[in-house]
Amino acid sequence: MGLHEMISAGLVRAPGVWDGLTARLAEQAGFGALCASGFAISAALGYPDAELYTMSENLQAVRTVREASTLPVIADIDTGYGNAINAARTARRFADAGVAAVFMEDQRSPKRCPLIPGAEVDLVDEVEAAGKVRAVKDAAGDMIVIARTDAKGDDALRRAEAYVGAGADMIMPVTKTFSTVDEWAKCREVAGVPLMATLTASAWTEREFTPEVMDQIGVRIALLPTQLLMAVSGAAQGCLQRLAAGEPPASVSADGMDHHAFVDMIGMDEIERQQHAYLPAAVG
């Protein structure tokens, strides 16, 4: 089932992934779609979420995710990496990579992560931002275009309406855009299109946006962008600290995934099958 059909059928939940391994794990867990999270891709490169990587680095990560999974991918294209012309090129490249949907924010480049305490973000003028949305939509083909706004209150509502007028298929308020469920419902009413929400770890939306609430306010895609990243990072940090402290490796390994289970999970059986099917038999 494609992403369009999934959205029409009900709520789509998409965990944040950043490479082939996390994409494979998410698909095996039973999810129906993936979010190529810019926050997580940046972290995998060793950077904070401040648009320090390039469009091509993001695109390569997304291609890796696509290769490892059959699920539709919702990709973060940050600010589009420039003006409307740059954003249109970005959209074409991601569409060519087989991405099902992209979301682009209305911050000025380089962006700032809105989750940083006290962070103030610099927004592109509404008219210019709508022009970028129109350019991405014109270049997107069948790809779903989701316009993210980092504005707040009435400004966010005006921008949501403008972005839909420019062709956005969905609107994505960030967790700081609104502070109540009623404000989200108002956004859905003003925009007239479905919403996408980020249920970011530790954010209020993670706590309050139950499936029932999201159905009431018109959320059709719920991103889980950082839960996996935080879990993996915490486990890796603990493992490395124990090893660095001199704990016997066998003791540390006992708390991790079994080697044989990992080999099965990563698909070694399928590679063995292909080797038997396509490679010459060993001469003995």
Q: Domain 3-226 - what CATH class? A: alpha beta
Which regions of the chain are under pLDDT 50?
Answer: 283-284
Note the pLDDT of residue 117: 59
Q: What are the pLDDT digits (tens) for 199-223?
A: 999 999 999 999 999 999 999 999 9
Q: How many CB atoms lie within 10 A of CB 109?
A: 15
Q: Is the whole model's pTM more than 0.85, yes or no?
A: yes
H-run or E-run covering 222:
strand 219-224
Query: Measuring CA to CA, how many Å separate 76 from each of 62, 242, 259?
Result: 9, 35, 33
Q: Maximum distance among all alpha carbons in the chain? A: 76
Q: What is the mean pLDDT of the chain?
A: 95
| Segments of the chain assigned to CATH 3.20.20.60 | 3-226
The angle that helices 55-68 and 84-96 make with each other, rounded to 10 degrees, is 20
